Structure 1
Amino acid sequence: MYPMTAAASIRPRRGSGLQALAAALLWAAPLNAQKADTVILRNGDRIVGELKALDRGAVSYSTDDMGTLAIQWDKIDRIISDRYFEVEVGSGERYYGALQRGIQVGQVVVAVASFSDTLDQAAIVRINPIGRSFLARVDGSIALSLSFQRANRLRAFGVEADARHRSTKWLTEVRSSVYFQAQEGAEGTSRNSVSLGESRFLPQRWLLVGTGSAEQNEELALDLRVLVSAGGGRFLRQSNRAYLLVGSGLAYANERYTGSSPTSNLEALVSAAAEYFRLDSPKSNLRGALTVYPSITDFGRVRSDLDVSLTHEVIKDFTIGLTLFDKFDSRPPAAGAAKHDYGVAFTTGWTF
């Protein structure tokens, strides 16, 4: 349920569902031509421009004179627009309509046709214009890591990249990682992966998730693992500063280890992911994800993947960071294969 506040007028009204969305879609096209949105800051400043989105506690706001601004949501006193938006609150409920001034400070009215909903501004976690273009909904990052040691002629190179596209009900995410290490007098080592995930958002912070991935890791003697998984989860917490997500499901893996025949395996999966983001300048982001795969067809075998990353903005959109990974397999199919691989890397990156 939507979190109640002391003001009874903040209770969602009946028009916040499909009826509101249908009306918003009907009127969105002519109203999208009007781009005179107004933001009033807590210090009294008034900025006229175009509201691009609210996500992770920051409003992306386009102006003619100052370009695109990132304005902290808690620095905004009121926001007014005749255009139509999808507004999501921390409970997972969504509302559709124009943004109007609330009766009380800290309220936002989402209005369409003959009905409206009054929301607590602090509870709003995401705003997207209806009819927003495909490219405007894409964001991501690229991070590089380089290492060279003269004493033992060690050279290492790594690239990590991700991109996300979010619509009103779907999130598509692509991730890739490339790592290569070479040392004089020793064989090189590589570790590569790519994944594609699709999430379907449901009411009350629930979601369905499907992923496909391919992975190679010479340290673990893994020539190739192709994995397909499906499951569901729920955001236990969702705010303008952080989220906590837990999930479970099933995974099918086809694996080929060095010196062994390909094997197939059905696994359960249990996962947890959390992220904390500070968008006050300079921006910082801490993210972690853990997935455990207890095998069903090879009972007693357990795999786990842990990824942690910390980034800090040094100049606009350019970051430095630290990444950590840990991969464990209690019983690899290949005799003599390592059970454990882990590493830490310092990175420089760019977000878009």
Structure 2
Amino acid sequence: MKRLALLLLFTLPLFSNAQDLDSLVMTNGDLIVGEIKSMDRGVVEIETDYSDSNFKIEWSGIQKMFCHTNFLISLSDGRRYNGHITSTTPETFHIISDEDGTVDVTPNDIVYLKSVNQSFLSKLSANIDLGYSYTKANNLSQLNLGTFLGYTSNRWSATLTGTSLRSTQDNSDDIARNEGNLTGNYFLPHDFYFTASAGYLTNTEQSINLRLIFSGGFGKYIIHTNTAYWGFSTGASYLNETFSPVTDETTGQSTTADPRSSAEWYLGTEVNLFDTGDLSFFTGAKGYRSLSNEDRWRADVNANIKYDLPLDFYIKMGYNMNYDSKPAEAGKEVDFQYTFGFGWEL
């Protein structure tokens, strides 16, 4: 009798833990048991007891799933839920939510999962990358740094991004460029959203001492699947700029452009493609038309290609371009940079 009691004492916790795990049945018949951490860009990350690192599985390779984990769930039509997922057939997944009951969807309807509890940290994501290059011919040295911090809840999200570049070479002025943006989105039905942002830019190449920009508007995802998304946004912005002194090479005299403040209208778009194995591609562009000076146009473009490595490391190539039809220094309408970095993501 004592042996039976001891056996129950040690085995009951095992059954209790097993009931809290998630089970995935793959299209090839394999069964994977663990805790699903996320599904983003068509890739599921699951933690298991029998592996030192998390498994990454293609979402399209899952036939059935039985989950006890609570998720933030985003669908391709813009609906968002808090709940867990079960399925009885490969064609239908059941989202079980305390607020909305049971909702039946197809696997392709689900574009994002994030395991959550009530803690703030469970809803965070972050990455950081660093790059350095050196060219002996002209003693060119370049250092670049990129950071990202994101928070996602059921109804809204916030991101904080930053980039920094330093470049030096013989017989040329040093170049320094720093940029940061804080963006918040509030999600609406049918993949619409409100958006607001605040950002800054310093750029010695275009003699920008400090550019501050505050924007507000709305947007919509035209394509929003677990393989790609494409969206547009539009709204109004307020721009405030101060400039660095510019030296005339002929006379040697320095002049500084007057500070500028203006209201603008903007139109932006973003494309993200990630159904390419370990590769993902992102590009974003915004065009600005000044409302107080109709002759002035501005554009900001950025693009990157990221290749995922084991243990959440990655390598990334990036491109940034700033265009200003009325720059502080004549002939400096366009500035662009290419970067290469090695990073890690949370």
- Does TM-score exceed 0.5, indicating one fold? yes
Counterpart of 1:61, as a letter, is I
Paired residue secondary structure (2:119): coil
Q: Is 2:315 the counterpart of 1:329? A: no
Deviations 1:260-296 (A, max 9, x none): 232211111100000101363xx11110001001000
Equivalent position to 2:305, from 295, 306, 310: 310
Identity, % of aligned pairs? 25
> In the alignment, which residue of structure 2 is the partner of 1:123?
109
Residues 146, 128 of structure 1: CA spacing in aligned structure 2 closer, same or farther, 3 A cutoff? closer
Q: CA–CA distance in 1 between the matches of 2:152 and 2:201?
A: 25
Query: How many Å separate the matches in 2 of 1:36 and 1:315?
Result: 24
TM-score under structure 2 length normalisation: 0.85
1:45–1:94 Cα change, 3 Å: same
2:73 matches 1:79: no
Post-superposition shift, 1:161?
1.5
| Gaps in structure 2 of 5+ consecutive residues | 1-15, 245-255
Q: Which moved more, 1:55-64 or 1:206-215?
A: 55-64
Whether 1:47 and 2:44 are equivalent positions in the alignment is: no
Residues 121 and 169 (structure 1 numbering): CA distance in 2 closer, same or farther, change over 3 Å? same
Alignment gaps of 5+ in structure 1: 1-30
Q: 1:33 to 1:205 in 2, by over 3 A?
A: farther
1:56 aligns with 2:56: no
Change in CA separation of 1:187 and 1:166 when aligned onto 2, cut-off 3 Å: same
Task: Tell me the equivalent position of 2:200.
Answer: 214
1:284-319 alpha-carbon deviations (Å, 9 max, x no partner): 111000100100011220000010111123444232
Structure ID, larger Rg: 2
The residue identity in structure 2 corresponding to 1:204 is H
After superposing the two structures, state which structure 1 stretch, 300-309 or 55-64, moved more.
Answer: 55-64
The equivalent of 2:334 in structure 1 is: 340
- Aligned mates of 2:187, 2:27 — CA distance in 1: 33
Q: Distance in 2 between matches of 1:101 and 1:184?
A: 64
Kindly state the Cα deviation for residue 195 of structure 1 after the two structures are TM-superposed.
Answer: 1.1
**Residue aligned with 2:108, SS:** helix
Q: Compute the displacement of 1:134 (Å).
A: 2.5
Q: Which amino acid aligns with 1:38?
A: S
Moved over 6 A (4+): none
Structure 1 residues 155 and 45, CA gap change in structure 2 (3 angstroms):
same
- Residues 192/32 of structure 1: CA separation in 2 closer, same or farther (3 Å cut): farther
Name the amino acid aligned to 2:286: T
After superposition, the Cα gap between the structure-2 partners of 1:97 and 1:32, relative to the gap in structure 1 and judged at 3 Å, is farther
CA contact (8 A) 1:32 1:83 kept: no
CA RMSD of aligned residues (A): 2.3
Distance 2:140 2:81 in 1: 55
Q: Which residue in the other structure is 1:91 paired with?
A: 77
1:319 counterpart = 2:305: no
Alignment-derived partner of residue 264 in structure 1:
261
Residue 32 to residue 136, structure 1, CA distance change in 2 (3 Å): farther
Say yes or no: does 1:236 pair with 2:222.
yes
1:253 counterpart residue number: 239
Q: CA separation of 1:256/1:126 partners in 2, compared to 1, >3 Å: closer, same or farther?
A: same
Query: Per the alignment, do residues 85 and 155 of structure 1 end up closer, same or farther by CA in structure 2, a change over 3 Å counting?
Result: closer
Q: How many Å apart are 1:120 and its aligned residue?
A: 0.7
Tell me if structure 2 keeps the 8 A contact 1:107–1:118: yes
Match of 1:273 among 249, 270, 275: 270
CA contact (8 A) 1:216 1:222 kept: yes
Contact 1:265 1:295 in 2 (8 A): yes
Following the alignment from structure 2 to structure 1, what is the Cα–Cα distance between the partners of residues 119 and 46? 15
State whether residues 41 and 76 of structure 1, in contact with CA within 8 Å, keep that contact through their aligned partners in structure 2. Answer: yes
Q: Report how far residue 96 of structure 1 moved.
A: 4.4
- Measured in 1, the distance between the counterparts of 2:310 and 2:72 equals 31
Is 2:168 aligned against 1:182? yes
Q: TM-score, normalised by structure 1?
A: 0.84
Q: Measure the CA separation in 2 of the matches of 1:132 and 1:41.
A: 30
Structure 2 matches for 1:164-175, cutoff 5 A? 164-175=150-161
User: In structure 2, do the counterparts of structure 1 residues 300 and 71 end up closer, same or farther at CA, with 3 Å as the change threshold?
Assistant: same
Alpha-carbon distance between aligned partners in 1 of 2:267 and 2:23, rounded to the nearest angstrom: 44
